[in-house]
Amino acid sequence: MKDDTNKDITRKAAETELPDQSYSFWRATTELPSFPPLREELDVEIAVVGAGITGITAAYLLAKEGKQVALFDAGKVLDGTTGYTTAKVTSQHGLIYDHLRKHVDDQSAILYYEAAEEAKRFMQQMVEDNQIDCDWQEETAYVYVESDDKEFKNLEQEMEAYRELGIPGEWVESLPIPLRVKGAIALPGQARFHPLQYLKFLLMEFRVMGGQVYENTMIEEVEDGDRPRLLIQDQEFGVTCDKVVSGSHYPVTDQNGFYFARLQPQRSYTLAIRAETPFEGGMYISADEPKHSLRSATFDGQQYVIVGGKGHRTGQEEETTMHYADLETFSGMLLGIKDIPYRWSAQDLYSLDRMPCIGYVTSDKPNILVGTAYAKWGMTSGTLAAIMMTDMIMGRENRYTDLFSPSRKMPLLERIKTAVSHNATVAKELVTGKLDFNRRKADDLEPDQGAIIWHHGKRTGAYRDPDGKLHVVDTTCTHMGCEVGWNEAERSWDCPCHGGRFSYTGEVLEGPPTEPLKQIKS
């Protein structure tokens, strides 16, 4: 759903410093096929919504089981979060195991680890069996802290969790790269890869098996029933099927599952740099602030370093360009920068207990399955969701069903604490978001500047493009009525409540909303 027309601008700007426009390394280095929109009524066994890692892997697996499958995307394939990830394939998901031991139990923590390992093994097997040319390389993953404060204690406790659970991590006090750390946990046997080259293979195999793919087909709602029905935006026709698999990142349908109160969107920022000094291997993530993530990638014989971090809740920061600048400073000091060919940002969803939600959308709706809330670990969790949903549809047992069930009971304290803070944000955005802004006017806006302004007596969102043309939109999110905020680096309107995003002219860039922002006459 994002716009690739900025390719040339990005390449030119890269010869100097930070690229002017957001463009992902993965998308820039993968040629993907195009598919038509759905043009008529369709009856199919399985309808998969969303062509990211969840949807494509599920479509592939279900087609392999002999199912008749159609895959739909509101925009282009692999242009959601999967196209903008950092693509570490690891079961080291930050500091998760101590958290799970404390807030759930030991048995769940070890099951979580085994699930991530199973997904990683599946991906590795796919690559090996099919000789997929996707820069797959085994790496050691490191989670580290630079300072002595609270996070150091948390890291020590995470190490203790590794020991207790039998996770083969090792405590180290230095890293292969020149970052001074107080401590780190090294987990060998993890991997990095090129996610789009891997998923392109699965997508093409899916097509060979007779799978249907439709792009630019926005599913607006799903009507539950013995045979669910997908309603398509602006069309009279629809899709009837036996089972729906939602791989749409934010679930395509809520069905009273209250996902809007349970999922939180977090954005973060990424650079692909060519460094002055060779990168010595490994994949890194900090446990303390500021958050940083590092890994390398090879394309056309050249080494790139993918540097990420600086996460924050979607829609709550306007001056987002500074996050790229911070990453640039960090990479420059660490490795030296020859150039920065690509920069991009993306968001992922978090559940209240930090575990993915995989399974029936609600316990009484066995014909609609969802995979969501991967907390920035969707390479393994998205793959796992596809495996689990395939098992559930095929009537097979899966040992992780209860752990990741969207209907699971979450630890009470955690649930209350997080839900209160999340819903306070939603309520605040619904109520005060409408009042709380600077009374700027259209005339105050420079070219290539956007802001909330006071326009014809109303709070509106405005962006003045580089040619001086003003684009004005109603800032009420069409999903649930929260107020969107300006995102300077991506030139988009982002919603802090559920992560909906819109272009400066109001078109939907990212769900859950399906309707554009209302344009206002300038």
Ligand X SMILES: Cc1cc2nc3c(=O)[nH]c(=O)nc-3n(C[C@H](O)[C@H](O)[C@H](O)COP(=O)(O)OP(=O)(O)OC[C@H]3O[C@@H](n4cnc5c(N)ncnc54)[C@H](O)[C@@H]3O)c2cc1C
Strands (E) across 383-500 are located at 449-455, 458-464, 470-473, 485-487, 492-494
Query: Does 199 help bind ligand X (rule: CB under 6 A)?
Result: no
Among 218, 239, 327, 340, binds ligand X (CB under 6 A): 218
Q: Residue for token digits 């859950």?
A: 512
> Binding of ligand X at residue 403 (CB under 6 A)?
no
Site for ligand X in 285-344 (CB under 6 A): 308
Residue nearer to ligand X on the CB measure, 202 or 472: 202
Nearest of 189, 224, 340 to residue 275 by alpha carbon:
340
Which of 10, 268, 476, 478 binds ligand X (CB under 6 A)? It is 268
Residues ≥6 apart with Cβ < 8 Å to 186: 140, 141, 142, 169, 170, 171, 172
Number of neighbouring beta carbons within 10 Å of residue 339: 14
Query: Smallest gap, in angstroms, from Cβ of residue 175 to ligand X?
Result: 17
Residue 241 near residue 43, CB atoms below 8 Å: yes
Contact status: 246 vs ligand X (CB under 6 A) = no
Give the one residue of 67, 99, 262, 376 binding ligand X; rule: CB under 6 A. 376
Give me the torsion for CA of 480, 481, 486, 487, rounded to 10°: 0
- Shortest spacing between CB 87 and ligand X, in angstroms: 5
- For 39, other C-beta atoms within 10 Å of its C-beta total 10
Angle at 259 between CA 477 and CA 475, to 5 degrees: 5
Beta strand 212-214 with 69-72 is: parallel
| Nearby residues of 155 by Cβ (< 8 Å), 6 or more positions away | 95, 143, 144, 145, 183, 184, 185, 287
The answer to whether residue 453 forms part of the interface with ligand X (CB under 6 A) is: no
Residue 62 CB, nearest distance to ligand X (Å)?
A: 15
CB of 333 to ligand X, least distance (A): 21
Q: How many chain residues bind ligand X (CB under 6 A)?
A: 41
Q: How many CB atoms lie within 10 A of CB 156?
A: 16
Query: At 280, phi and psi to the nearest 5?
Result: -85, 15
Label residues 88-108 b or e (16+ Cβ within 10 Å = b).
Answer: bbbbbbbbbbbbbbebbeeeb
52 binds ligand X (CB under 6 A): yes
Residue 491 touching ligand X (CB under 6 A): no
Q: CA 147 → CA 84, 323, 486, distances in Å?
A: 29, 21, 33
Q: Which of residues 247-266 bind ligand X (CB under 6 A)?
A: 247-249, 252
Residues 356-375: x/- map of binding to ligand X (CB under 6 A)? Answer: ------------------x-
Question: Which residues, other chains included, contact 407 with Cβ-Cβ below 8 Å and sequence gap of 6+?
Answer: 257, 359, 360, 362, 363
Does residue number 514 form part of the binding site for ligand X (CB under 6 A)? yes
Minimum CB–partner distance for residue 196 and ligand X (Å): 10
Residue closer to ligand X by CB (options 376, 491) is 376
The three-class DSSP label of residue 48 is: strand
- The residue among 86 and 425 lying less far from ligand X, judged by its C-beta, is 86
Judged by beta carbon, residue 54 or residue 460, the one nearer ligand X is 54
Q: Which of 32, 53, 95, 361 binds ligand X (CB under 6 A)?
A: 53
Least separation, in Å, of the C-beta of 309 and ligand X? 9
CA distance 331 to 106: 37
Comparing CB distances to ligand X, the nearer of 267 and 455 is 267
Which helix (H) or strand (E) element contains residue 46? strand 42-49
**Which of 87, 177, 275, 517 is the binder for ligand X (CB under 6 A)?**
87
What count of other Cβ atoms lies within 10 Å of the Cβ of residue 286?
22
**Whose Cβ is closer to ligand X: residue 49's or residue 111's?**
49
Angle CA(30)–CA(36)–CA(39) in degrees, nearest 5? Answer: 160
Work out the number of other CB atoms within 10 angstroms of the CB of residue 499.
Answer: 26
Report the DSSP beta bridge partners of residue 246.
49, 370
What is d(CA 365, CA 251) in angstroms, rounded to the nearest whole number? Answer: 14
Nearer to ligand X, 212 or 460 (CB): 212
Considering the complex, state which of residue 341 and residue 356 has its C-beta at the smaller distance from ligand X.
356
Q: How far is the CB of 34 from ligand X (least distance, A)?
A: 14
Query: Given candidates 42, 63, 80, 324, which one binds ligand X under the rule CB under 6 A?
Result: 80
Q: Is 201 among the residues that bind ligand X (CB under 6 A)?
A: no
Least separation in angstroms between residue 370's CB and ligand X is 10
Q: Compare residues 204 and 442 and give the one whose CB is closer to ligand X.
A: 204
Question: In this complex, which beta carbon is closest to ligand X, that of residue 79 or of residue 146?
Answer: 79
**Segment interacting with ligand X, rule: CB under 6 A, options 10-18, 21-29, 242-250, 438-446:** 242-250
- CB-nearer residue toward ligand X: 120 or 459: 120
460 near ligand X, rule: CB under 6 A: no
* Among 19, 55, 265, 315, interactor with ligand X by CB under 6 A: 55
Nearer to ligand X, 331 or 380 (CB): 380
Quick check: 490 binds ligand X (CB under 6 A)?
A: no
Query: Closest separation between CB of residue 454 and ligand X, Å?
Result: 33
Interacting residues with ligand X (CB under 6 A): 1, 49-55, 72-75, 79-82, 85-88, 218-219, 247-249, 252, 268, 270, 308, 346-348, 374, 376-380, 382, 511, 514
